[in-house]
Amino acid sequence: MNKTIKLILVIAGIVLLGYGIYTLAVPETVLSIGSLDIKAKDDNNAYITIGLGLIALLIGVIGGRKS
């Protein structure tokens, strides 16, 4: 595997993992108007982002090794 592609996959994996974990850490979005509170929470995309980050990181690290 080309070193440039390996580096791009590792960086993309780290960025996706960081973004996915950040999305899970920020629990919800709240809109307050007077006594009305509107809360929105969407965790489904965070798990997909973390999974894609792990896959890209593993391909970048393990896929670059030669037997």
DSSP string, 42-62: --HHHHHHHHHHHHHHHHHHH
Identify the pLDDT of residue 17: 94
52 burial type by CB count under 10 A (0-12 exposed, 13-18 middle, 19+ buried): middle
- What kind and span of H or E run contains 40? strand 36-40
Identify the pLDDT of residue 56: 93
- pTM of the entire predicted model: 0.71
Question: How many angstroms separate the CA atoms of 14 and 50, rounded?
Answer: 9
Please indicate whether residue 56 or residue 65 has the higher confidence score (pLDDT). Answer: 56
pLDDT exceeds cutoff 80 at 6: yes
Question: How far out from the chain centre does Cα 2 lie?
Answer: 24
- Which band of pLDDT confidence, cut at 50, 70 and 90, is reported for residue 12? very high
